[in-house]
Amino acid sequence: MKNTPTAHVRFAFNRWLKGALTVVLLAGASLSAALEVRFEPVTDGVFAYVGDMGPRTLANEGLNANIGLVVTTQGAVLIDSGATWESARQIHEAVRRVTTQPVRWVINTGGQDHRWLGNGYFKAQGAEILAHASAEADMRSRGNDHLETLRAALGPRASGTTPTLPTRWLTQPDQQLELGGVVFEFKYRGGAHTPGDMLVWLPQKKLLFSGDVVYVDRMLGVIPVSQTKAWLATFAEMERLAPTRIVPGHGRVTDLATAQADTRDYLRALRAHMKKAVDDGVDLSSAIKTFDASLYLRLLNAAELNPGNASRTYLELERE
Ligand SMILES: [Zn+2]
């Protein structure tokens, strides 16, 4: 190009445009950097990301849950894939900061959005995705609704996400697989928070990924698809395994005693109260009002979640 005055002006304009674009891109980048996925070491080769304990927001990109990671010599195993394509991508970046191993396997511990809506991203990376077969109907029926809710909360940050089913279904109540030389045991006892919830047990490390079977620090949620009876049966299986460390579905990495106090005891108290109410012919609203939740109001989100939990447990007991 000849160095004519016009070309010179054009060059200056292009340089200005490039500068302006850089400013816009940086602004965009700082907006997207709100979610910081960072894996903390739990034990040899095992890591956990402890997510936000409040509701789904733009700041946490819908990822208000924990994610687990096991690094083997033949690849990385991710426990749960995140809430969206974008949050899955950020989980992947966090994995890369911990290991150079590719994510070869993804396990979905249940059918709640943040457990599996990142599957599309990891499937595109070539990962094999495993879940219990009992999660399938739940994923199919609620996946699109979840996505709509996330779109409303996240806007364009939810784009690229499509409900993508696992590539391999586990069909047994007890199943063992060796992934990259590490033994994984999967325990299914009828579901918990969602119908497909299962435990992921690493016997060699005495470590358990509980998915939404264990909530600590914050109050658990009994939702319409939850089964509190099966939830306690799943919990009992975990007690039998006697893990030394638990990566819960929500809350800080924990031990069995804390899981019992924050999850099991609350579920037991709810069920005992509601069973008596149903047996005595007490109506729903009186049963909710007379439930003493004072021991559990220390848990985050308790005031918002307890009334709904009480109501749905009553309805479940009525059906039993
Ligand atoms: Zn959850």
Low-confidence ranges of the chain (pLDDT < 50): 1-4, 11, 19, 21-33
Residues 258, 261, 263, 267, Cα dihedral to 10°: 170
Q: Measure 297 CA to ligand 1 centroid, in angstroms.
A: 19
Q: Measure 65 CA to ligand 1 centroid, in angstroms.
A: 6
Q: Measure 112 CA to ligand 1 centroid, in angstroms.
A: 6
Q: For position 22, what pLDDT does the model report?
A: 45
- The sheet that has 174-179: what strands, in order across it? 174-179, 182-187, 199-202, 207-215, 245-250
Nearest C-alpha neighbor of 32 from the set 184, 170, 205, 157: 157
Q: Measure 132 CA to ligand 1 centroid, in angstroms.
A: 16
Q: What is the secondary structure of 69-103 as a DSSP string?
A: EEEETTEEEEE---SSHHHHHHHHHHHHHH-SS-E
Q: For position 10, what pLDDT does the model report?
A: 53
Tell me the pTM. 0.89
Residue type, 52: D
Q: Measure 213 CA to ligand 1 centroid, in angstroms.
A: 9
Q: For position 35, what pLDDT does the model report?
A: 85
Q: Measure 32 CA to ligand 1 centroid, in angstroms.
A: 23
Q: For position 81, what pLDDT does the model report?
A: 98
